Amino acid sequence: MNSVLVDFNDDETWIADSGASEHMSNGSVINAHGKGKISLIAFDGKDYIPTELNDVLYVPDIKFNLFSIGAALGQGYTMMTDNKTCKIIKGNDVYAIGLRIDKLYHMQFRHAGSINVNL
C-alpha cells in the first residue's frame, strides 16, 4: 500500500454513529479508497485538545464525516449520553463531546490538517 496525504473538504461535521464500523471522512457509504490516521482537535467540555483518530476510512463521496462509536468502544473508551450531549470517556477523563442536534450527536471536532491514508 502507498501512503499519501489527502486533503479533505473543510466540512467539520462529525456525526456520532453507532452503526459505523470505522470512522469515515469525506464520502459516502460507498467504497473506501483507503485507511489512515486523521489529526483533530476535540472539545473536552473545557478546552480543545489535540487528538488523533486511527483506522479512519477515506470515503470521498460521504456527505458527513462519521465518528464510529463502536470503534471508540473497541479502543477502551466509554460513551455517556443524555438528551443534550454525548461524552467519549476513558478512565475519569472526557476526550470528546457531541452536542445533540435533532436526533444526531454532532461531535465537537476541528480539523488539524490533512489525513494520512494508505491507498
Report the domain count for the chain.
Answer: 1
The C-alpha atoms of residue 90 and residue 73 are separated, in whole angstroms, by: 10
The C-alpha atoms of residue 41 and residue 51 are separated, in whole angstroms, by: 6
Do 33 and 58 meet the contact criterion of CB atoms below 8 Å apart?
A: yes
pLDDT score, position 47 = 93
Phi-psi label, residue 6: left if phi above 0, alpha if psi -120 to 50, beta otherwise: beta
The x, y and z cell numbers of residue 47, run together, are 478546552
Q: State the burial class of residue 83 (Cβ atoms within 10 Å of its Cβ: 0-12, 13-18, 19+).
A: exposed
| CA 90 to each of CA 44, 48, 62, 109: distance values in angstroms, whole numbers, following the listed order | 12, 17, 29, 17
Q: State phi, psi for 65 to the nearest 5 degrees.
A: -75, 140
- How do residues 1-51 score in pLDDT, each as one tens digit? 333 333 344 467 889 988 755 655 554 445 556 778 888 899 999 999 998
| pLDDT over threshold 90, residue 106 | yes
Q: 64 vs 46, which has greater pLDDT?
A: 46
Domain limits for position 97:
3-118
